[in-house]
Structure 1
Amino acid sequence: MSASNDKGKGKEVALPLPASSSGSANPAASLSSLWAYLLPALNHIVKSPTNNSDKAPAIETAFYIGIHTACYSYFTSQSETKSSARSSGEVASGTDLYDQLDRYYIDTAREIMLGAPQDDSTLIHYIVPCFNRFSAGAVSVNRLLNYVNRHYVKRAVDEDKGWLRLNDVLESVAKSITAEDSREKISERLKQKRIDELKKWGYKTDGSGEPMASAETCAEAASPPDRVITVAALAHRRFRTEVFEPLLAVPVVKGKKAKNKIPKAASTGPPIPKGRLARALKELLESKGGDEEERSRLVKDLSAALRLVGVVPTHPLRKRLDKWERDQVGKTS
């Protein structure tokens, strides 16, 4: 995957990918055959070089329709053979494909992480375009595999397997529930708890903040890996776990502890170590000269990326980025 965000010449532009030749084989016959049919499209959409990292390359219309048809046929055949999955405890239809997609995004994110430069001064210049390209591909794949969202994800959410589960809110809601409360009243309080969670991601009921769908996408990406979420949020969650979280991690300083040693004053001790991304941001913000417009774009894109992958608003780096953006607004007002 390319790390460049240049829109000029010098890079191959990916043409629409034609349908792969599967001969007389039925792509919906098994998971392996379906995945073999899907994989060229996924690689093209998510990984192909492009002059514009904000837009994913396309596939030909016939291939697009073929994938929709294959997914529909695969889910339909699974539903027919596993109609008793819920009562017998078998794996619900669609879980295998969903897990395969999750592994694909894990591998793709790890490839990006392996390509990260060791020099902190160029880290953000690498990560931001990589994420923009990855995210554009994830959004495109989300549309391509919308049947996965409609058939599998929606059902999982209905079965309390989504990003926000009953157990997550039961404790706080239960304190305000009495024996006299009706089912409708309890349901209303659960809905309010969901709204409260979305407000953490910028949603406002008066419409002045982020749209509900946008806030929910971030909340989905912030959820633990065992939660079933939409295909786009699944990709963003894996970028968080495989790329951003390792870069945000603060290294542990190892050393022998002396017995009965009087602690030094905080001001005389060594500086507290920071994660690579925090160091890279500090270097970027404090650098002199260079393209100020480019620096501003990188910082804004990094802030948006951290939010989209589900890094919580209270994280120190997100708070620093938010403060920087407020300061920039103050300078221009």
Structure 2
Amino acid sequence: MAENLVNTWAELGKGLDKIYANVDPVSTKQYMELYSNVYNFCTKSHLDEVTPLNRGRRSGNISVATPSGAEFVGEDLYKKLVTFLEDYVNHLREGCQTYRGTELLEHYNKVWESFRFSSTAVNGIFSYLNRHWIKRELDEGKTGIYEVYNLAVRCWQEKLFVHVADAVTNAVLELILNERNGESIPTSLVSGVLNSYLN
């Protein structure tokens, strides 16, 4: 499975880089190829590379036979995705450090909207993982596992937002104060920030 994971992630990683860069649009064909990479990994890895004796989900020391183990594969891919998202969001956070006031709000809104849009696309690419491995983990009450879009938002909150929250909040309050003093303010900046709070 290790080799399959390396090969699968080589393609997925390039695709995710392109999606999150949000410079060139990803074609429908490219999108479907990325989806197929996830699907093929989840459905082939288990069936091709485990022996019939240890096929199935383990429960304590007992191996429980399953009609198809495909839905139980996905942890390695999920971990790769977590690492990718954390690294990417850390990079975005570094880009926020140089801004203050209104400029910070403009930059924050821009990167948030781009990240949110890209994460919606990535959620679709990993929808097979959402429906099978992630669903099983959640059904079994596992903590620290999230559907892919929610995982992306959580990475945003933990790796970026908490580090800029004070500066962003102060900039919003300053805009609101300016409005109370009769100044015209870009209300879209305030609503955009509030939207990121609520996601």
Q: TM-score, normalised on structure 1?
A: 0.50
Indicate the residue corresponding to 1:236 in structure 2: 153
**1:32 aligned onto 2:6:** yes
Bigger proportion of residues as helix: 2
- How far residue 281 of structure 1 moved from its aligned partner, in angstroms, is 1.4
Equivalent residues of 1:47, 1:134 under 8 A apart: no
* Structural mapping, 1:306-321, within 5 Å: 306-308=197-199
Q: For CA contacts below 8 A with separation 6 or more, give which structure has more relative contact order.
A: 2
Which of 44, 47, 67 aligns to 1:77? It is: 44
Determine the C-alpha separation between the residues in 2 that align with 1:77 and 1:29.
Answer: 13
The number of aligned residues is 181
Equivalent residues of 1:141, 1:231 under 8 A apart: yes
**1:44 aligned onto 2:23:** no
Indicate the residue corresponding to 2:68 in structure 1: none
**1:107 aligned onto 2:87:** yes
| Cα deviation digits, residues 197-232 of structure 1 (max 9, x gap) | xxxxxxxxxxxxxxxxxxxxxxxxxxxxx5211111
Query: What one-letter code is carried by the residue in structure 2 that aligns with 1:286?
Result: L
Query: What one-letter code is carried by the residue in structure 2 that aligns with 1:233?
Result: N
* Structural mapping, 1:173-252, within 5 Å: 226-248=143-165
- How far residue 29 of structure 1 moved from its aligned partner, in angstroms, is 5.3
Which of 103, 117, 131 aligns to 1:122? It is: 103
**1:304 aligned onto 2:195:** yes
- How far residue 67 of structure 1 moved from its aligned partner, in angstroms, is 2.4
Indicate the residue corresponding to 1:142 in structure 2: 123
Structure 1 SS opposite 2:73: coil
Q: TM-score, normalised on structure 2?
A: 0.80
Equivalent residues of 1:29, 1:74 under 8 A apart: no
Structure 2 SS opposite 1:115: helix
- How far residue 48 of structure 1 moved from its aligned partner, in angstroms, is 2.6
Equivalent residues of 1:31, 1:97 under 8 A apart: yes
Query: What one-letter code is carried by the residue in structure 1 that aligns with 2:43?
Result: T
* Structural mapping, 1:219-298, within 5 Å: 226-248=143-165, 275-287=166-178, 292=185, 295-298=186-189
Unaligned residue ranges in structure 2 (runs of 5+): 64-71
Pair member with larger Rg: 1
Equivalent residues of 2:122, 2:148 under 8 A apart: yes
Indicate the residue corresponding to 1:159 in structure 2: 140
| Cα deviation digits, residues 8-29 of structure 1 (max 9, x gap) | xxxxxxxxxxxxxxxxxxxx95
Structure 2 SS opposite 1:160: coil
Percentage identity across aligned positions? Answer: 24
Structure 1 SS opposite 2:146: coil
Equivalent residues of 2:90, 2:160 under 8 A apart: yes
Query: What one-letter code is carried by the residue in structure 2 that aligns with 1:47?
Result: A
Indicate the residue corresponding to 1:67 in structure 2: 34
Indicate the residue corresponding to 1:53 in structure 2: none
Determine the C-alpha separation between the residues in 1 that align with 2:135 and 2:126.
Answer: 13
Determine the C-alpha separation between the residues in 2 that align with 1:296 and 1:151.
Answer: 41
Equivalent residues of 2:42, 2:73 under 8 A apart: yes
| Cα deviation digits, residues 224-261 of structure 1 (max 9, x gap) | xx52111111100000001111123xxxxxxxxxxxxx
Query: What one-letter code is carried by the residue in structure 1 that aligns with 2:89?
Result: A
Structure 2 SS opposite 1:287: helix
Equivalent residues of 1:105, 1:238 under 8 A apart: yes
- How far residue 137 of structure 1 moved from its aligned partner, in angstroms, is 0.1
- How far residue 86 of structure 1 moved from its aligned partner, in angstroms, is 2.8
Determine the C-alpha separation between the residues in 2 that align with 1:76 and 1:29.
Answer: 15
Note closer, same or farther for the CA distance 1:98–1:290 as it changes in structure 2 (3 Å cut). Answer: farther
* Structural mapping, 1:7-26, within 5 Å: none
Note closer, same or farther for the CA distance 1:73–1:121 as it changes in structure 2 (3 Å cut). Answer: closer
- How far residue 142 of structure 1 moved from its aligned partner, in angstroms, is 0.6
